[in-house]
Structure 1
Amino acid sequence: MSTPRTVVSGGTGYVGRFIVESLLAAGHDVTVIGRRPPADGFFSKPVHFASLSLEPEAITSAPFEGVDFFVHGAFDHEPGKYRGGEGNNPQGFRRRNLDGSAALFAAAKTVGVRRTVFLSSRAVYGSHSPGVWFSETVEARPDTLYGEVKLGAEQALSALRGPGFQGVSLRVTGVYGPGGPGRPHKWTGLVADYLAGREIAPRAGTEVHGRDVAAAVRLVLELPTPDDVILNVSDLLVDRRDILAIVKRELGSSHPLPEAADKGAVNAMRTDRLAALGWRPGGRKLLEESILELLESCNVSVRRPSG
């Protein structure tokens, strides 16, 4: 069997790095496309690089020549922001992230890419009554420009599906895990605030480790023919108090934990479709492991669980 050739847009991003590493481990020949090449040693193995602009008129089919798969994770936004990432330029935000994504999908299809996976977001669901579970059949009614753009890109990809070209959108929740060489963990700031004794507001939300997102991408790429074109990717409903309780336990901190958030008001996500394909996220065990790794990366001595 020939080596699969895969293009990943946004591969040097927080989530993209997990995906690239997973594909490399599976033996893919990976090309990362983005605004700037990865730093030396950023990935565990060599990757190819091609420059990418999300401006629609700048997109060509060149990066997709001879490629089997395309994973689209690139997103143009103000640093540190997704919702609200449009800043003062909503037209440019929509043009690059919606029209640019649609142009990438079309370019990939034109030269024979067999399957494209788009990293969408739970933001497409928008606001619903507290406690309503989000399954893929729940009405998508985004209430942010970010959610609108993600939903529009899903629809653009779906419209291109046909013989020889398959598209799947993964609606991903909040992602946690190490940020990669020289980059912080998602919760580095939260833990630092707690250890400094700063007040922390209660908050709960759905989370999934980046490693599990990458596993979902690989699974969808390897399916003979995906039946579902929309799949939720989520694992745990996590309270900040849950995270910091592990820190408190491991370090014996005297600082009080934040008040518990109302988990019952959160819209958790159902992942039955993905589970039926064999996807198994890391759950509480992986959450604990990740927080211990975070503490160790801060040069804090922790107790490692046995077994």
Structure 2
Amino acid sequence: MRVLVSGGAGYIGSHTVVQLVAAGHDVTVVDSFANAKPSVVGRLEALTGKPLDVRSFDLTDRDKTEATFVDTPIDAVIHFAGFKAVGESVDKPLSYYENNLDTTMSLLRAMDRHGVRKLVFSSSATVYGAEPVVPMTEDAPTSATNPYGWTKVMNEQVLRDMAVADPTWRIALLRYFNPVGAHESGTIGEDPSDYPNNLMPFLAQVAVGRREKLSVFGDDYPTPDGTGVRDYIHVEDLAAGHVAALNRLGATDEPVSTWNLGTGRGTSVLELLHAFERAVGRELPYEIVDRRPGDIAASYADPRRAEADLGWKATRSIDDMCADTWRWQSNNPAGYP
């Protein structure tokens, strides 16, 4: 299939592009490079062994989005593109609602016009809201605690409504938990454009000397060691889940399918810290500080539906995730050039 990957130069998108090409698909990448560096393209071409069709524009530009579907026979879309920093979304809600909803609307209009009915949507476990029951199942009610989360909830609803209006759509809503890790080559990985919003890249920057120490937000949660528990999933396992979901869309009669992509195992902040110390081979400085507003004690998936429906399972361990992250960060101490 010819698959359009929106946000295909970003962290999860880039790893998914490599796996799509390995699975025999042709890929068209659309990325505004607002959250990615153009230098990733050459690395993707080196990993895939072939030139990639890359279009640099913002999907909110409906004319350019339409033109892409006019000149390229697209069979399916994997939609990653969007702003993704929770804290920034609180400060800039209008930008988040405008960008994250308009990119989806623009894509859907072009897809609808050209008869493209297969879509894999990058959703998030943040749609389970402030007080989830763990492990989280796909049937749990959805809500959000910040504008970023609400854009995921709203986009999911838009997609469900599209499928009600036209049941020939085949849509996968992939709710993933905490993506970490990097490609085993160490040539592509997570490269935050500014201050890291997530634990693993912050740890990596402490280890490589770009940050002084890790701040652990709270040690008084009702968890085994008092620190927050999350379901960390290797980005390579996550990318494989997207390829599996895309394949499933060609074999299902359901207009909309929702799958959690996680390991089903919770890991605390201190457990991840110590795993990263094992990867680096030395202790890393940290301090306990106050809880961060909006953080929940524990979040981890019930991944059984994805395992049953997709024949997919997350296989890489926390130690694998840390080792691959450290290989990426130590090979690229300043990130992408």
Quick check: TM above 0.5? yes
From 30, 45, 58, the equivalent of 1:53 is 58
Evaluate the alpha carbon distance shift between residue 289 and residue 199 of structure 1 in structure 2; reply closer, same or farther with a 3 A threshold.
closer
| Equivalence for 1:234 | 262
**2:21 maps to 1:27:** no
| Equivalence for 1:276 | 308
SS at 1:85's partner residue?
A: helix
Query: What's the offset of the Cα at 1:211?
Result: 1.0
Query: What's the offset of the Cα at 1:114?
Result: 3.1
Evaluate the alpha carbon distance shift between residue 184 and residue 92 of structure 1 in structure 2; reply closer, same or farther with a 3 A threshold.
closer
Higher relative CO (CA 8 A, sep ≥ 6), structure 1 or 2?
A: 2
Which amino acid counterpart does residue 241 of structure 1 have in structure 2?
A: L
Q: What is the alpha-carbon distance in structure 2 between the residues aligned to residue 50 and residue 298 of structure 1?
A: 27
Evaluate the alpha carbon distance shift between residue 268 and residue 216 of structure 1 in structure 2; reply closer, same or farther with a 3 A threshold.
same
**2:130 maps to 1:133:** no
Compute the TM-score of the two structures, normalised by the length of structure 2: 0.74
| Equivalence for 2:239 | 214
SS at 2:160's partner residue?
A: helix
Q: What is the alpha-carbon distance in structure 1 between the residues aligned to residue 95 and residue 285 of structure 2?
A: 44
Q: What is the alpha-carbon distance in structure 2 between the residues aligned to residue 254 and residue 132 of structure 1?
A: 31
| Equivalence for 2:175 | 171
Compute the TM-score of the two structures, normalised by the length of structure 1: 0.81
Post-superposition Cα deviations, 1:201-235, rounded to whole Å, max 9, x if no partner, equal 24432211111111111111112116452111112
Q: What is the alpha-carbon distance in structure 2 between the residues aligned to residue 145 and residue 209 of structure 1?
A: 26
Post-superposition Cα deviations, 1:129-157, rounded to whole Å, max 9, x if no partner, equal 5x633111111011211111111111111
Query: What's the offset of the Cα at 1:290?
Result: 3.1
User: Percent identity between the aligned chains?
Assistant: 27
Q: What is the alpha-carbon distance in structure 1 between the residues aligned to residue 275 and residue 123 of structure 2?
A: 30
Deviates more, 1:139-148 or 1:227-236: 227-236
Q: What is the alpha-carbon distance in structure 2 between the residues aligned to residue 251 and residue 150 of structure 1?
A: 35
Contact 1:7 1:64 in 2 (8 A): no
Q: What is the alpha-carbon distance in structure 2 between the residues aligned to residue 251 and residue 49 of structure 1?
A: 35
| Equivalence for 2:220 | none
Contact 1:67 1:112 in 2 (8 A): no
From 122, 132, 154, the equivalent of 1:119 is 122
SS at 1:208's partner residue?
A: strand
Evaluate the alpha carbon distance shift between residue 203 and residue 51 of structure 1 in structure 2; reply closer, same or farther with a 3 A threshold.
same
Evaluate the alpha carbon distance shift between residue 132 and residue 183 of structure 1 in structure 2; reply closer, same or farther with a 3 A threshold.
closer
| Equivalence for 1:292 | 323
Evaluate the alpha carbon distance shift between residue 183 and residue 234 of structure 1 in structure 2; reply closer, same or farther with a 3 A threshold.
closer
Contact 2:5 2:17 in 1 (8 A): yes
Q: What is the alpha-carbon distance in structure 1 between the residues aligned to residue 278 and residue 55 of structure 2?
A: 46
Q: What is the alpha-carbon distance in structure 2 between the residues aligned to residue 215 and residue 127 of structure 1?
A: 28
| Equivalence for 1:83 | 86
**2:258 maps to 1:225:** no
SS at 1:8's partner residue?
A: strand
SS at 1:225's partner residue?
A: coil
Q: What is the alpha-carbon distance in structure 2 between the residues aligned to residue 195 and residue 6 of structure 1?
A: 36
Query: What's the offset of the Cα at 1:198?
Result: 3.7
Q: Alpha carbon RMSD of aligned pairs, Å?
A: 3.1
Evaluate the alpha carbon distance shift between residue 255 and residue 68 of structure 1 in structure 2; reply closer, same or farther with a 3 A threshold.
closer
Evaluate the alpha carbon distance shift between residue 98 and residue 7 of structure 1 in structure 2; reply closer, same or farther with a 3 A threshold.
same
Q: What is the alpha-carbon distance in structure 2 between the residues aligned to residue 105 and residue 270 of structure 1?
A: 30
From 93, 96, 99, the equivalent of 1:96 is 99
